[in-house]
């Protein structure tokens, strides 16, 4: 993992460095005097930069700079393929704009990006997390206010309510919300059928499946697999169902006590004890970079995941010919969900080509050509034209749409981005260390680590970010 981390940081540095060496010149779109409303067609000539864009209107009628812009994102293989295809189509439509890309899995991704923010070398266009506004753009100088490029990026496709979620401390729009998301369950129905069970619809059904899996399928089969961050979210759903309020409220206060956190931790441990979920030692022992890369998941030994409604495509893709075995489950009635901005696209405030960066975003999010390529790789789109285009084409991913419906039907609560503060979420942050140590039963020094230790550490870490109510 460390090698990948350093490689990503190195590649990102190379990409940024290349910008300084790239010459830029003005390019005007050749436009036909056609007053009809038919969709423009694109015909690029050989030679790339010398081509013209026949019949196109480049969002405002002005030309664009011949230049190189950088763009990075994280995700699974299916997201990488779709995004790369959209970038290629964009470069064909706008010859003279070269897009250099960098992408990878989520593991260690934010660590590499944080270093870029410190140095001011973040890419022109970047896939960003909702909480990064508070982390890296607290003073409103890291991300470009997208209002300044609204002649190119069509913000009217998004509701004011959604755009208000991504406003920074200066009142600017720090990122375009691609979709809203929450978590639900996905089940490998073939494995459940092999165990003689229907996929679970209640917490009790899930818990009882643990013993059945162990007895009928063996020690290496589990109804559900959840990592450290997944455990924190599932525990949050469990506690929110008991309290009836967000774990961190809109005022930024933690709404649960240390004793309630202890109760939640004990509940998670009970899932391990009942053979519902594997221990962290067992999960990490495989060495998979992400769960869609896990052979145990691919082979059906992990029969359930607890994931975002925007994420099923990469798991379906990982299952190959057995992709149809993965079905959407409901948010159990014993749990209380939340929704958040799943992810955003942002433009660097330091970009020398903000207009061209905005053109790329508009192509991917609001241009029918880009929309049809991107589909629902980042969830059910919030862009009105994207939703309508995909719906009319029958291209809304059925699994993502069903998962999104399940989340929205669960009457989700408010989500505060403090929940994902870097001191809480990350490779060496509180959620990871607490859930790892509690599952192992010992701390990094080899001393016993009990539920009281875990509850105290997690409570202290959370109240350091979100003071108790």
Which residues belong to CATH 3.40.190.10 in the chain?
2-180+341-403, 183-339+410-465
pLDDT at 2: 38
pLDDT at 157: 98
Closest CA to 300 of 203, 195, 209: 195
Rounded Cα distance between 465 and 153, Å, is 35
Closest CA to 90 of 113, 61, 59, 121: 59
Q: What's the first-to-final CA gap in the chain, in angstroms?
A: 38
Rounded Cα distance between 382 and 366, Å, is 10
**97 sits in which H/E element:** strand 97-104
How crowded is residue 145: how many other Cβ atoms within 10 Å of its Cβ?
18
pLDDT at 1: 40
Residue with tokens 């809109």: 250
The series of mean pLDDT values per 10 residues for the chain, 469 residues long, is 38 40 44 31 29 36 84 96 99 97 93 92 96 91 98 96 91 96 98 99 99 99 99 99 97 98 99 99 96 98 96 95 98 96 96 98 98 93 96 91 93 93 92 98 97 99 97
pLDDT at 286: 98
Beta pairing class for 326-328 and 64-74: unpaired
Question: 430-440 and 451-465 helices cross at what angle (nearest 10)?
Answer: 180
Hey, which residues does 67 pair with through a beta bridge? 97
pLDDT at 422: 86
Asked if 171 and 332 touch (Cβ cutoff 8 Å), the reply is no
- Please, which contacts does 409-412 make with residues 24 or more away whose CB atoms are closer than 8 Å? 409/331, 410/182, 410/184, 410/330, 410/331, 410/335, 410/336, 410/337, 411/337, 412/182, 412/336, 412/337, 412/338, 412/339
Q: What is the DSSP string of 262-297?
A: HHHHHHHHHHHHTTSS--HHHHHHT--SSGGG-HHH
pLDDT at 250: 87
| CATH superfamily for domain 183-339+410-465 | Periplasmic binding protein-like II (3.40.190.10)
For the question of whether the overall pTM of this predicted structure is more than 0.85, the answer is no
What would the 3-class secondary structure string for 238-263 be? HHHHHHCCCCECCCCCECCCHHHHHH
pLDDT at 8: 39
Q: What is the DSSP string of 20-46?
A: HH---EEE--------S-SPP---PPT
Residue with tokens 């697999």: 225
Fold of 2-180+341-403: D-Maltodextrin-Binding Protein; domain 2 (3.40.190)
Rounded Cα distance between 154 and 55, Å, is 20
Instruction: Compute the C-alpha angle 185/235/208, nearest 5°.
Output: 60
């Amino acid at each position: 993992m460390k090698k990948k981390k350093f490689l990503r940081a190195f590649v990102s540095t190379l990409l940024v460095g290349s910008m300084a060496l790239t010459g830029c010149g003005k390019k005007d779109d050749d436009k036909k005097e056609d007053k009809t409303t038919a969709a423009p067609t694109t015909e690029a000539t050989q030679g790339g930069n010398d081509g013209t864009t026949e019949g196109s209107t480049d969002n405002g009628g002005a030309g664009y700079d011949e230049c190189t812009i950088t763009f990075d994102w994280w995700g699974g293989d299916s997201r990488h393929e779709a995004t790369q295809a959209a970038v290629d189509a964009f470069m064909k439509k706008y010859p003279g704009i070269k897009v250099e890309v960098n992408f990878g899995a989520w593991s260690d991704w934010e660590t590499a990006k944080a270093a870029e923010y410190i140095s001011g070398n973040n890419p022109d266009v970047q896939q960003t997390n909702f909480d990064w506004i508070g982390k890296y753009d607290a003073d409103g100088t890291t991300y470009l206010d997208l209002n300044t490029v609204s002649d190119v990026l069509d913000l009217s496709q998004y509701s004011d309510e959604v755009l208000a979620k991504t406003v920074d401390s200066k009142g600017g729009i720090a990122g375009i919300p691609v979709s809203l998301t929450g978590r639900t369950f996905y089940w490998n129905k073939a494995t459940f059928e092999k165990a003689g069970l229907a996929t679970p619809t209640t917490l009790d059904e899930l818990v009882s499946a643990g013993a059945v899996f162990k007895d009928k399928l063996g020690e290496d089969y589990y109804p559900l697999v959840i990592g450290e961050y997944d455990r924190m979210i599932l525990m949050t759903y469990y506690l929110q169902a008991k309290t009836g309020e967000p774990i961190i409220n809109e005022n930024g206060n933690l709404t649960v006590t240390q004793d309630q956190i202890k109760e939640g931790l004990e509940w998670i441990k009970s899932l391990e004890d009942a053979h519902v979920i594997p221990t962290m030692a067992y999960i990490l022992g495989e060495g998979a970079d992400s769960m869609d890369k896990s052979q145990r998941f691919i082979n059906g030994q992990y029969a359930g995941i607890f994931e975002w409604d925007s994420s099923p495509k990469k798991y379906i893709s990982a299952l190959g010919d057995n992709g149809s075995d993965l079905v959407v489950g409901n948010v159990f009635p014993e749990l209380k969900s939340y929704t958040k901005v799943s992810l955003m696209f942002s433009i660097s405030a330091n970009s020398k080509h903000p207009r061209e960066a905005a053109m790329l975003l508009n192509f991917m999010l609001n241009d029918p050509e880009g929309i049809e390529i991107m589909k629902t790789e980042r969830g059910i789109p919030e862009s009105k034209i994207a939703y309508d285009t995909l719906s009319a084409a029958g291209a809304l991913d059925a699994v993502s749409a069903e998962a999104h419906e399940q989340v929205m039907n669960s009457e989700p609560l408010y989500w505060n981005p403090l929940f994902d503060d870097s001191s809480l979420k990350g490779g060496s942050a509180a959620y990871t260390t607490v859930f790892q140590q509690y599952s192992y039963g010992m701390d990094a020094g080899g001393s016993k680590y009990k539920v009281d230790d875990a509850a105290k550490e997690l409570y202290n870490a959370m109240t350091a970010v979100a003071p108790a109510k």
